[in-house]
């Protein structure tokens, strides 16, 4: 199958899964802003996205996207490493900007996923997972607060350590997105003379917007806890 066997096919998979994840981040970051405006409204959204069948389908789809994106990145890096052989330490200017599966992207991506595991423990594990276990008849966690996302956000960002950890995570995410969005758009064909510089700017603006959406919640709840 050309999608897996050819280099362009693999890059296509990375680009499509990456863009889908960026759209999820845009949705997630925008949704989180509601937690600043109205914690009650935020909890209503959390209840809507709880252990309902459509939310579970989305969760499984999301996990699949992250898995495919990460495994594909590992595979591409491995092939790249093997193909370059003894030449892999040679300096090659053409590769500086456009090597989308470079080691840095893989390492930064791994950092993003590492923090994501912590994040899922902080929220998903106490919310949707508790609801799933409860619906299956089990007893686990605090089911009364399983849709109280605003409470968990307030509790988490009352800790300066978590505020800093999340901001570091968002810094890594910004680095990954600025390069990733640009690379994905290039792979999908926006790479002519005119669009080359434009997609760099568009990617940076988009990555910054997404990261600011998340950072606003960290800073808002962090400062609220600090000032109260």
Rounded to an integer, what distance in angstroms lies between the CA atom of residue 122 and that of residue 165?
Answer: 12
CB of 49 to ligand HEM, least distance (A): 5
CB of 189 to ligand HEM, least distance (A): 26
CB of 142 to ligand HEM, least distance (A): 14
Contact, 76 vs 5, CB < 8 A? no
Comparing CB distances to ligand HEM, the nearer of 7 and 224 is 224
Q: Return the closest-CA partner of residue 176 out of 109, 110, 114.
A: 109
Comparing CB distances to ligand HEM, the nearer of 80 and 204 is 204
Comparing CB distances to ligand HEM, the nearer of 120 and 202 is 120
CB of 50 to ligand HEM, least distance (A): 6
Comparing CB distances to ligand HEM, the nearer of 140 and 190 is 140
Comparing CB distances to ligand HEM, the nearer of 50 and 180 is 50
Q: What is the DSSP string of 68-119?
A: HHHHHHHHHHHHHHHHHGGGGGS--TTHHHH-TT-HHHHHHHHHHHHHHHHH
Helices (H), 139-159: 149-157
CB of 143 to ligand HEM, least distance (A): 13
CB of 139 to ligand HEM, least distance (A): 19
Rounded to an integer, what distance in angstroms lies between the CA atom of residue 10 and that of residue 57?
Answer: 25
Comparing CB distances to ligand HEM, the nearer of 9 and 61 is 61
Q: Return the closest-CA partner of residue 213 out of 41, 20, 33.
A: 33
Comparing CB distances to ligand HEM, the nearer of 49 and 72 is 49
Structure token pair of residue 97? 């900007």
CA–CA distance from 133 to each of 54, 141, 218 (Å)?
17, 9, 29
Rounded to an integer, what distance in angstroms lies between the CA atom of residue 115 and that of residue 64?
Answer: 18
CB of 186 to ligand HEM, least distance (A): 22
Structure token pair of residue 194? 């005119």
CA–CA–CA angle 65, 18, 126 (5° rounding): 50
Residues interacting with ligand HEM, by CB under 6 A? 25, 28, 32, 46, 49-50, 58-59, 62, 112, 116, 119, 123-124, 127-128, 149, 153, 166, 173, 214, 217-218
């Amino acid at each position: 199958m050309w999608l897996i066997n050819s280099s362009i096919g693999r890059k296509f998979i990375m680009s499509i899964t990456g863009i889908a994840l960026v759209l999820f981040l845009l949705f997630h970051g925008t949704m989180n802003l509601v937690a600043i405006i109205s914690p009650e409204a935020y909890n209503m959204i959390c209840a809507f996205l709880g252990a309902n069948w459509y939310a579970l389908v989305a969760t499984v789809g999301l996990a699949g996207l992250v898995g495919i994106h990460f495994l594909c990145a590992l595979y591409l890096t491995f092939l790249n490493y093997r193909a370059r052989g003894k030449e892999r330490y040679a300096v090659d200017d053409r590769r500086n900007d456009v090597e989308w599966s470079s080691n840095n992207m893989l390492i930064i991506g791994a950092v993003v996923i590492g923090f994501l595991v912590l994040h899922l423990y902080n929220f998903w594990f106490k919310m949707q997972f508790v609801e799933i276990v409860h619906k299956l008849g089990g007893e686990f966690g605090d089911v009364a607060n399983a849709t109280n996302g605003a409470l968990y956000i307030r509790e988490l960002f009352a800790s300066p350590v978590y505020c800093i950890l999340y901001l570091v995570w968002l810094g890594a995410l910004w680095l990954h997105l600025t390069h990733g969005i640009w690379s994905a758009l290039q792979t999908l064909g926006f790479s002519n003379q005119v669009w080359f510089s434009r997609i760099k700017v568009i990617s940076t603006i988009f990555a910054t917007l997404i990261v600011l959406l998340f950072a606003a919640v960290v800073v808002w709840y962090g400062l609220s806890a600090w000032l109260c």
